[in-house]
Structure 1
Amino acid sequence: MNPPEQALSAPTVPAADRPRATADLVPVAPATDRAPAPSWFERVRDRWYKLVATDEFQRWSARFPLTAPITRYRSRKVFDLVSGFVYTQTLYACVEIDLFDYLSDGARTIEEIAHHGEMPIASAERLLNAATSLRLLIKRRHGRYGLGPLGAPLVGNVGVTALIRHHKMAYHDLADPVSLLRQGSDFRTELSRYWSYADAPRPQAIDDSRVAAYSEIMAATLPPVAHDVLDAYDLSKHDCLLDVGGGEGAFLSLVGARHARLQLQLFDLPAVASRARTRLEQIGLGDRVQCFGGNFHADSLPTGADVCSLVRVLLDHDDLSVLRLLQRVRAALPKGGVLLIAEALAGAKGAETVGDAYFSFYLMAMGKGRARRASELHQMLQTAGFRRSRELPTRFPIQTGLFLGYPISNLGNG
């Protein structure tokens, strides 16, 4: 869980190791009177797309045998963009009536599904046809419907279904995206109220009633990312792990199950850390874990761990907040320690829409943070005083980018 930025004091750093100013994070090109002239390739491409945009070309390309398949494919992709909200609402309706779990024991008739969903048969048929077109379901013999290739993975998937239900707020907030873009963080949204730490003046004072809902959804949606991290990086070489912004301890619970010798530490807001302590004690990790409450933007981090993790933490915060948090992590790590950063990335190959579209707009509605590119995280780690960093491949880069950071030296608690 990730509190908002507060006024901080950065750790004392020797001049030779001192990070550059925050302004250096994003190099600014020198001012010029006019933009550089477009290249030959850019001019050719612009002329090509100007031609493609004409009605004559589109009609011709739809008839010509070599271009017709491409034209039809791109037409479908454009229509998918237009219809995307309807697709998400179809999925949302299926999840709301627990349709995938209901069909997990076998295909059902329209009448049975209508009774299960408490809706007229005509409405059930409408929903089933839509879900079938999206490959969530498959129409079987004798008018029955069963799980499809995209619906089957959702059976019993608590994390994904919780996220789908949660997105009802995001759909509401993004109903007028232009107003949101123009007003930025001054625009009050349901998501900013839901993530209560996003605009709280004193996040460490937030009580249990305000952290319960978002703590639970974070815990429910974290396991896939945690398994990606644990499969990509071997924690058995370490003695103690500090999970900063560790929520209710979902990540530490999975770490503890895999590595019986590893000591565990968790740092989060006091109300969240208290929930984590209860949860971790209930699953038998009480003798191996220490839970610390505080504000990681205002308080020093606990020491004693030789590996520190930031799992889905940085993307919720602006660059200055992230830089200062990285400095605090570096100060808490001993010489030879390692920082693990796990989060979705902008510009990830094959998953560009995740960071540049989904997280970009979701975090705008939330009012904090942004998804970053791999090159930006490497630069930020260097600026924060980490001597080197590297990226590790994961099984599902669409959800998990994984970085290792190695501090210059142990600089105290800072």
Structure 2
Amino acid sequence: MTSLNALRVRYRLWRNRLIGSATFRSKIARFPGTRWIAQKKSNDLFKLINGFVFSQVLSSCVSLGVLERLKDTVASSEALAKDCGLQPGRMQLLLEQAERLKLVKNVEGNSWVLDDAGAVVAADPGLHAMIRHHALFYRDLADPSALLKASYQDTELKKYWAYAHAQDPADIGTDITQPYSELMRSSQEMLADCILAAHDFSQYPAVLDVGGGEGAFLAAIGKACPDTRLHLFDLPSVTDLAKMHLARENLADRTEVHGGDFARDPIPDNAECVSLVRILCDHDDGRVKQILANLHRSLKPGTKVMIAEAMAGNSAGAELAAVYFSLYFLAMGSGRCRSDAAIKDLLLGAGFKNPRTKPTPNPLLATLVLAER
């Protein structure tokens, strides 16, 4: 340990002893000039303690359809209670807590409208789907100590994301891939917008989305870049779903869909840019190295590769994403939330050149790492 770091540690230990003193905290809370600091620290700590309760208020509003019923309208608590099958007093209780979390707003008497956060959730089917999906995650977190001790042999998320553990992913059937493919498609609208705001795909004659699922991100590229040819590569059980979705988006005539395992099967080399959106984060380092090595073998020199996913970093959004995804992937039994530096090291190790980080408007959703074959 350097002398500077040793000094920092000594300062931190001294500070911790000071803050840990009830007498000191009492003085800070009583003194007018420092009272706001004490209140903020106290509120921040209570948010950590109470976070699960907050999430369940949101979950209840979604599962009962409260936010959906308030979309573009005003409704009374009595009407909402009747529609949602709750006693009026219980609906009033839920609405009051939702108002405190900025989901709804009381406008007059018992009349309610959506607040900012509620309006976003109500307008985004992908957020609805993810909030409902979190019921699985919460069950896995019921005993976090056991999860951290690796006592769980089989978690809800591990069963849900079966492809991450399959000996041969190409053998997975549509009955398994369809639920998570639909979830990924419905939750990608904001992510796609975030990526497209950060990188111009119209510069490429053709784009290949590896692990593209039902084609939600590829469809977003197709709409934004009308002259770009589209290619998608995913498991054979997913490609039929992708063809149907892209046909519904009127993109079938510009799209080629290819089936296979992206860690071992040849990947088409007929695109100038290859994207991997929320792919590497789902897998441990060993399989990521296989995926990138297979990409490097398959692609022609000069092909651009774009990695897009939530990455650990110093911004507020990146820190929130890292806390969330680190536990999510632990429950899933595969993957991790990497920093952009870690992803660049993996790309260099696979033989790719000039890896560089490109920020997006919302690092909570994604950061980009670009490289060249």
TM range (shorter): over 0.9
CA distance in 2, matches of 1:356, 1:283: 33
Counterpart position of 2:362: 396
The amino acid across from 2:40 in the alignment is Y
Higher relative contact order (CA 8 A, sep 6+): 1
Counterpart position of 1:272: 238
1:45 CA drift (Å): 2.1
C-alpha contact (below 8 Å) 2:215/2:245 kept by paired residues: yes
The amino acid across from 1:321 in the alignment is R
* Aligned pairs (5 A) from 1:249-328: 249-328=215-294
Number of residue pairs aligned between Structure 1 and Structure 2:
372
1:150-199 deviations in whole A, cap 9, x for unaligned?
Answer: 21112221011110000000001101011001017x63111111112122
Say which SS state the counterpart of residue 153 (structure 1) adopts. helix
* Aligned pairs (5 A) from 1:101-112: 101-112=68-79
CA distance in 1, matches of 2:67, 2:13: 46
Counterpart position of 1:229: 195
C-alpha contact (below 8 Å) 1:348/1:355 kept by paired residues: no
CA distance in 2, matches of 1:208, 1:312: 20
* TM superposition outliers: structure 1 runs of 4+ over 4 Å: 35-38
1:42 CA drift (Å): 2.0
C-alpha contact (below 8 Å) 2:181/2:214 kept by paired residues: yes
1:306-327 deviations in whole A, cap 9, x for unaligned?
Answer: 1100001010011121122112
CA distance in 2, matches of 1:257, 1:305: 18
TM-score, length-scaled by structure 1: 0.87
1:336 CA drift (Å): 2.1
Identify unmatched segments of 5+ residues in structure 2: none
CA distance in 2, matches of 1:304, 1:143: 60
Counterpart position of 1:357: 323
The amino acid across from 2:64 in the alignment is I
Counterpart position of 1:11: none
Counterpart position of 1:346: 312
CA distance in 1, matches of 2:35, 2:54: 26
- What RMSD, in angstroms, separates the aligned Cα atoms of the two structures? 1.5
Q: Which moved more, 1:257-266 or 1:214-223?
A: 257-266
Say which SS state the counterpart of residue 369 (structure 1) adopts. coil
Say which SS state the counterpart of residue 351 (structure 1) adopts. helix
Say which SS state the counterpart of residue 219 (structure 1) adopts. helix
Counterpart position of 1:13: none
Counterpart position of 1:166: 133
More helix as a share of residues? 2
1:381 CA drift (Å): 1.4
C-alpha contact (below 8 Å) 1:355/1:372 kept by paired residues: no
Q: 1:132 and 2:99 equivalent?
A: yes
1:99 CA drift (Å): 1.2
CA distance in 1, matches of 2:337, 2:69: 36
CA distance in 1, matches of 2:165, 2:212: 19
The amino acid across from 1:334 in the alignment is K
Counterpart position of 2:49: 82
C-alpha contact (below 8 Å) 2:214/2:239 kept by paired residues: yes
CA distance in 2, matches of 1:307, 1:274: 23
TM-score, length-scaled by structure 2: 0.96
The amino acid across from 2:46 in the alignment is F
Q: Out of 36, 40, 46, which is 2:13 matched to? A: 46
